[in-house]
Amino acid sequence: MKEKKILVLGGKGKTGRKVAERLTNLGETVRLGSRSETPSFDWDNRETWAAALDGIDMVYITFQPDLAVPGARKAIEEFTALAVKSGVQKMVLLSGKGEKEAELCEQVVMNAGADWTIVRASWFNQNFSESFFLDPILAGHVALPKGEALIPFIDTDDIADVVVESLLDDKHKGQIYELTGGRQLTFKQVTGEISNVTGRDIVFTPITMEEYKKMLKEYQVPEDYIWLINYLFTEVLVEKNSIVTNDIQKVLGRKAKDFSEYARETALTGIWNPEK
């Protein structure tokens, strides 16, 4: 049998690095899709795509910063067309649960001419340790809009496990999985859980979306990033997206990792301890 080669886009990102690590441990041949790799891959530089796809059979597609941003659909159209032309037989797309724009990108992948699996994920646990909520946690003061929103946070370990299964087992061909954690949490509850496991006094304050955008501007956050944050808070944090699914159980035969377990594991790394 011909050895399969797998391209993992965002191979050093939140989910990509875990997918690549799992595949490598299973003996699969993996190429990381990253600007720092050789050959390099850069979503913003189409000249890098052909070399990254050369000899590749399967691709895990993650798009930065998010499939909802303007230009994402065109990039996915051009990339998937080139991928199929290059001989790619299977694509697994990481999508956002409840993002209408992301669903348009999903349709592109479904119609590209290769086998596919769509993995729609809720908000990541790791947003509090590897992304935009880390600084407020370290500061001990989390001020966010939509304080009452119920969110079934999902762990990137679970996402990576589902992606690996989807890449390696053909029974997942043509499936759309919606991945959530096992329970709904508000930002205040999350802040409380992190406060408990770290032994720190971390306060949550609900604010309006306008106040939040003003605060981001004061911190000189780029406008396109503020647009994305506004989109995620207003379009994604809605009631229909708070539903807990059993797709982790369906694919992996076990329950999703609970936020409390993530919080305990992460606290042990020291990432939430502010520098003295």
What the chain holds in terms of domains, given with CATH numbers, is: 5-122+155-180+243-256 (3.40.50.720)
Cβ atoms of residues 209 and 226 within 8 Å: no
pLDDT tens-place string over residues 127-138: 999 988 999 999
pLDDT of residue 1: 52
Burial class (CB in 10 A: 0-12, 13-18, 19+), 104: middle
CA distance 123 to 233: 11
- Alpha-carbon Rg for the chain, nearest whole angstrom, is 19
pLDDT of residue 2: 64
pLDDT band at 275 (very low <50, low <70, confident <90, very high): confident
Supply the DSSP symbol for 151.
B
pLDDT band at 13 (very low <50, low <70, confident <90, very high): very high
Residues of the chain with pLDDT > 90: what percent?
A: 92
CA distance 182 to 191: 18
Chain center to CA of 108: 19
* Mean confidence (pLDDT) of the chain: 96
pLDDT of residue 231: 92
pLDDT tens-place string over residues 244-263: 999 999 999 999 999 999 99
pLDDT tens-place string over residues 17-55: 999 999 999 999 999 999 999 999 999 999 999 999 999
Query: Partners of 90 in the beta sheet?
Result: 58, 115
- 4-8, 84-88, 121-125, 225-229: range with lowest mean pLDDT: 225-229
pTM for this model (two decimals) = 0.96
Termini Cα distance of the chain: 56
Counted residue by residue, the chain has a size of: 276
CA distance 141 to 267: 17
CA distance 217 to 200: 28
pLDDT tens-place string over residues 150-182: 999 999 999 999 999 999 999 999 999 999 999
CA distance 96 to 123: 8
pLDDT of residue 276: 52
**Amino acid present at 91:** M
